[in-house]
């Protein structure tokens, strides 16, 4: 067997010998012709890093000190360190007793954010600022500002905050849809509290679903950019940029069994970030467009079973909702959606990413397969209520009443152990549902209530959730002892 040395083998693969080369070979004067015209391999990240570090900030969250033996944010037992993963290294040392008595906020978490406007708007992750009583933003030049929350969206894990500053350096937005698998990217943030840290990697996948780690499955984003750039606790909310220094994603999660980076990280693409930030700034809440049908991903087995031969990927329609975009288009059970506007659709994350770019009232075209023929039709997108109206940011005052504690004697007479009385009823969601003054609420969505604060807490949880239907299911009774059940629709149009 003829053996090749490694250099000789590489030479035989990488070069082409000219005819003259064969003649000169005997004279040991080989001449070679290069066959590759590819550009040189460029790994200079300095421009991207310089264009990014001053646009990324450190965000410290503070919460009022609570009695908690584990030292984390007044929450609960955290045996696996997941609190550290989401919020960065914690301040767990014992606080001065005077500070504890006064319930002064103490630092409870640390993350990153990205400046998106000269006048102080900053995008970050919702989980970085969720539950904070105070937010402090540290710029790259060590300037410190207190921030206020403009809007949050739990479903996409994004939040918009603002500091009172001018002439800041905002990041330049890139187009995440132009990203290619294998393209170099940089992650910039504050891992473990180390400010302005830059790590490099490549795009490993696009429209990646990590449903096993999604936040309760409540319309959570399932269309991540997957990279192997190192992202660690404290990086959350930081920038993922291309080699031009353009923002193409907000770092949000890692795949890890330990809470630290072990191979892959995930970023929310700017195609979604831009839309969510605009909605939060203009309307206070995200305007979500629904196609209005239940679907399942098509594979080769299902395609064979249904007799579909023209495609083996796409989203098969299972059921169509009334008063929906799908109904207007005329979609039917068994149709396979393969495109939205000019984008091909193969998976649910790809569909979700496309729909997240639009608002109710926008026109889209849907391409689908029926009886092995392709059709394209246009329609108007609607919201979860079946209309094109803009939804408004929820406010607790919209329920249209106040609440009064009930005395022990009333509880004994009615045979109840808890409850709050509805009083001062006026125009609002409660009156629209049929509730009258004097009604005593004992439970909301299965949770016992005993004060106005309990009602407001449940209201806020409902409004912050990613559920399309925002409803209070109320159990209670009137002073006569007769029990009633009400469903209060909190969806605003």
Dihedrals phi, psi of 278, to nearest 5 degrees: -65, -45
Q: Given this model, what pLDDT does residue 79 score?
A: 32
User: Does the structure show a pLDDT above 60 at 73?
Assistant: no
Q: Which of 157, 252, 271, 335 is catalytic?
A: 157
Q: Given this model, what pLDDT does residue 211 score?
A: 62
Nearest Cα to 185, choosing from 269, 255, 111?
Answer: 269
User: Does the structure show a pLDDT above 50 at 125?
Assistant: yes
Of the two residues 401 and 21, the one the predictor is more confident about is 401
To the query of whether residue 228 is one of the catalytic residues in this protein, the response is no
Q: Which of 61, 176, 223, 236 is catalytic?
A: 236
User: Does the structure show a pLDDT above 60 at 121?
Assistant: yes
Check: CB of residue 200 under 8 Å from CB of residue 185: yes
Check: CB of residue 470 under 8 Å from CB of residue 433: no
DSSP strand pairing (336-340 vs 363-370): antiparallel
User: Does the structure show a pLDDT above 60 at 471?
Assistant: yes
Residue range 277-294: mean pLDDT, rounded: 89
pTM here? 0.70
User: Does the structure show a pLDDT above 60 at 9?
Assistant: no
To the query of whether residue 236 is one of the catalytic residues in this protein, the response is yes
Distance CA 464, CA 474 (A): 19
Q: Counting beta carbons within 10 angstroms of the beta carbon of residue 475, is it exposed (0 to 12), middle (13 to 18) or buried (19 or more)?
A: middle
pLDDT in tens, 226-239: 999 888 888 899 99
Of 180-189, 193-202, 374-383, give the lowest mean pLDDT range: 193-202
């Amino acid at each position: 067997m003829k053996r090749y040395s490694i250099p000789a083998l590489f030479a035989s693969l990488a070069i082409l010998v000219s005819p003259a080369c064969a003649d000169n070979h005997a004279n040991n004067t080989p001449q070679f012709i290069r066959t590759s015209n590819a550009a040189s391999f460029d790994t200079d990240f300095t421009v991207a890093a310089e264009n990014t570090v001053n646009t990324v900030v450190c965000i410290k969250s503070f919460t009022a000190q609570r009695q908690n033996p584990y030292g984390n944010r007044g929450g609960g037992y955290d045996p696996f360190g997941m609190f550290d993963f989401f919020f960065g290294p914690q301040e767990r040392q014992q606080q001065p007793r005077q500070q504890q008595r006064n319930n002064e906020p103490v630092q409870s978490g640390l993350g990153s954010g990205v400046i998106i406007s000269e006048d102080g708007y900053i995008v970050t992750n919702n989980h970085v600022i969720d539950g904070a009583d105070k937010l402090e933003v540290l710029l790259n030049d060590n300037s410190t500002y207190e921030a206020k929350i403009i809007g949050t969206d739990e479903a996409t894990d994004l939040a918009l905050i603002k500091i009172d500053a001018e002439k800041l350096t905002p990041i330049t937005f890139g187009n995440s849809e132009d990203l290619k698998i294998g393209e170099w990217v940089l992650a910039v943030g504050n891992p473990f509290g180390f400010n302005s840290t830059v790590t490099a990697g490549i795009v490993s996948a696009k429209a990646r679903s990590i449903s096993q780690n999604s936040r309760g499955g409540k319309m959570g984003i399932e269309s991540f950019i997957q990279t192997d750039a190192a992202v660690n606790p404290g990086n959350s909310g930081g920038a993922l940029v291309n080699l031009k220094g353009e923002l193409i994603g907000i770092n949000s999660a890692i795949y890890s069994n330990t809470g630290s980076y072990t191979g892959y990280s995930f970023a929310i693409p700017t195609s979604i970030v831009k839309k969510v930030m605009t909605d939060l700034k203009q309307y206070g809440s995200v305007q979500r467009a629904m196609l209005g049908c239940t679907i399942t991903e098509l594979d080769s087995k299902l395609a064979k079973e249904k007799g579909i031969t023209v495609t083996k990927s796409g989203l098969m329609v299972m059921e169509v909702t009334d008063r929906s975009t799908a109904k207007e288009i005329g979609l039917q059970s068994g149709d396979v959606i393969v495109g939205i506007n000019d984008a091909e659709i193969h998976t649910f994350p790809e569909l979700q990413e496309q729909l997240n770019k639009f608002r109710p009232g926008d026109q889209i075209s849907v391409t689908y397969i029926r009886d092995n023929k392709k059709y394209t039709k246009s329609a108007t997108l609607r919201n979860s209520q079946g209309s094109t109206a803009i939804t408004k940011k929820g406010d607790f005052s919209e329920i249209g009443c106040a609440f009064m504690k009930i005395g022990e004697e009333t509880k004994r007479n009615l045979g109840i152990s808890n409850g709050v009385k509805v009083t001062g009823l006026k125009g609002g969601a409660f009156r629209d549902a049929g509730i009258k003054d004097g009604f005593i609420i004992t439970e909301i969505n299965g949770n016992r209530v005993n004060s106005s604060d309990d009602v407001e807490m449940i209201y806020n949880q409902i409004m912050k959730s990613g559920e399309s239907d925002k409803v209070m299911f109320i159990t209670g009774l009137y002073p006569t002892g007769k029990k009633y059940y009400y469903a209060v629709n909190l969806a605003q149009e």
